[in-house]
Amino acid sequence: MSTIKTILNTITGTVEQPPRICKKCSAEIPYADYLANHCICPECGAYFRMRAVERLDATVDKGTFQEIDKKLKSKNPIKFPDYAEKLEKAEKASGLSEGVVCGTAKVGGMDCALFIMDSAFMMGSMGTVVGEKITRLFEKAAQLRLPVIGFITSGGARMQEGIYSLMQMAKVSGAVKRHSEAGLLYIAVLTDPTTGGITASFAMQGDIIIAEPKALIGFAGQRVIEQTTGEKLPAGFQRAEFQLEHGFVDLIEERPRMTYTLAKLLALHQTH
Amino acid sequence: MAAEAKTAYERVQAARNGKRPMGSYYIEHMLDDFVELHGDRRFGDDAAIVAGIGYLNQIPVTVIAMERGDTIEERMKRNFGCPEPEGYRKALRLMKEAEKFRRPIICFIGSSGAYCGIEAEKRGQGLAIAENLYEMMGMKTPIISVVVGEGGSGGALALGVCDTAIMLENAVYSVISPEGCASILWKDASKAPDAAEHLRLTSFDLLSFDVVEKVIPEEGKTNREICSALKSVLLDEIRKLSAMSPEELLDHRYAKFRKIGA
């Protein structure tokens, strides 16, 4: 059984997945076709938001992924109302214990550490557990002398954890810096959407920053900017192409070529 | 107890009060021979951040301070204290200058947040904050951050990676404004007072979470008294932190943030 079937089986109890409906053109896509087409609509070319397991399947060499800190779960550090229920719901809806999956694997035959955020869990927002898992991953990667690849998607810091969430931005930044000072590579892959405190921390701290086409990438929310300035936002504002034009991402890569490009970059950084 | 005297939202309002002293006040009343230094050497000079070098007693320090201004003209000029990317880049440039001369850095935080605008995004507001977090984690000189007003999210944290975090009693520090939180969660910004309560954003909350190390009392005190109490705490902290080797200092800073939510 392939990695994805094993993982899907574990999280949903079945490998049978319903067809996906494209939000752009309403096409109904059988799941097998959807997966084979890199979670891109075969009719109109729209990118779906990939689940972490789907990304893993598309990225890592089969059978090489070893998950770390799988069971780490958020508590309710500031006793925010209704948060415990929200976490429970997110867990059921996503089949994950939190908004990021971390581990080690081979990509193109090369060892690396990976973190993959999943927007199905509270929009991939960062609370203490997401911050802690990513921090531990960078620390472990520094210890094992592994490069880190991060697939990022997040609405930003998770407000239900208050100041604890905000401080994760600093905590992760510290771990990224230590990993970097050990002479190790960090590739950030920005996918739709990458916003708020994530853009203002580890999304923009990669040695190499890759974006997926048309991904929304920015700091301030679009509605907030409109309300603050009263200005109308230009077409394509804060999209991957906008960020490339303004010099904030190294390249935009199509999803079907992403793994190939990552493997090339890993190889180019091998020092022996 | 005075700590219970104000609700969380009353403290938010106190932190935002237009008469509340901001960065420039502390520079004026705490430092001698202050020389203001301008510009990010990239694009421009952001007046929402005032920065320079001066003496704290006999010790040369670099100060990076958010400032919103008093008059309406000054507030326009200072963009109501909301920094643009150039403000954060100026801060980083001058922090590196301080590092070169092993000079302690004091940051004064008081802003509703990093400016949310089209131009700010075009010039990399997210990147500017991300770079400060990253570089401040490795800055080989003591950094002390003082939240004197509203500590608004990532825009505040961009001057908040430090060895010692201090808050004035009525300052607040939050991941999101109470209004923003209320409108997202309950579609009703008028529930901000409830949100303020739940967000646990007061100085006493943050002290109990071990996110800040010191709170400077304000109740019944004049601005001058608050300023002089803060000054003596700063001198103590500088003395303590300056005794550490750069490696000890960085390990201490890493550990300070590493333990939050571990």
Q: Which residue has the tokens 């089969």?
A: A62
In our burial notation (b when 16+ CB lie closer than 10 A, e otherwise), range A145-165 reads ebbbbbbbbbbbbbbbbbbbb
Under CATH, which architecture does the A50-268 domain have? Alpha-Beta Complex (3.90)
CA of A164, closest CA in chain B: separation in Å? 6
Residues of A in contact with B125 (CB under 8 A): 200, 219-220
Cβ pair A247, A209 in contact under 8 A: no
Q: What are phi and psi of B200, to 5 degrees?
A: 55, 60
Cβ pair B52, B34 in contact under 8 A: yes
B256: left (phi over 0), alpha (psi -120 to 50) or beta: alpha
- Determine which of B80, B92, B118 to mutate to test the interface with A (most A C-beta atoms within 10 Å): B118
Rounded to whole angstroms, the Cα distance separating B102 from A181 reads 21
Contact state of B160 with A170 under an 8 Å Cβ cutoff:
yes
Give the start-to-end residue ranges of the domains of chain B. Answer: 2-256
Rounded to whole angstroms, the Cα distance separating B202 from B208 reads 10
> For chain B, how many residues are written?
262
pLDDT, tens digit only, all 272 positions of chain A: 345 555 555 555 556 788 999 999 999 999 989 999 999 999 999 999 999 999 999 999 999 999 999 999 999 999 999 999 999 999 999 999 999 999 999 999 999 999 999 999 999 999 999 999 999 999 999 999 999 999 999 999 999 999 999 999 999 999 999 999 999 999 999 999 999 999 999 999 999 999 999 999 999 999 999 988 898 999 999 999 999 999 999 999 999 999 999 999 999 999 76
According to DSSP, residue A217 is labeled B
pLDDT digit string (tens) for B31-86?
999 999 999 999 999 999 999 999 999 999 999 999 999 999 999 999 999 999 99
Instruction: Name the residue of chain B whose CA is nearest to A181's CA.
Output: B138
Share of chain B above pLDDT 70, in %: 98
Instruction: Name the residue of chain A whose CA is nearest to B181's CA.
Output: A159
Identity of the amino acid at B82: C
C-alpha closest to that of A36 among A12, A23, A54 = A54
ipTM comes to 0.96
Q: Tell me, what's the pLDDT at A2?
A: 45
The domain B2-256 is placed in CATH, from the list 3.50.50.60, 3.20.19.10, 3.40.1160.10, 3.90.226.10, at 3.90.226.10
Cβ pair B122, A238 in contact under 8 A: no
Report pTM: 0.96
User: A173 CB near a chain B CB, below 8 Å?
Assistant: yes
Find residue B168's DSSP bridge partners.
Answer: B216
Give the start-to-end residue ranges of the domains of chain A. Answer: 1-48, 50-268
Angle B85-100/B125-136 helices, nearest 10 degrees? 20
Cβ pair A243, A211 in contact under 8 A: yes
Rounded to 5°, the CA angle B247-B249-B251 comes to 70
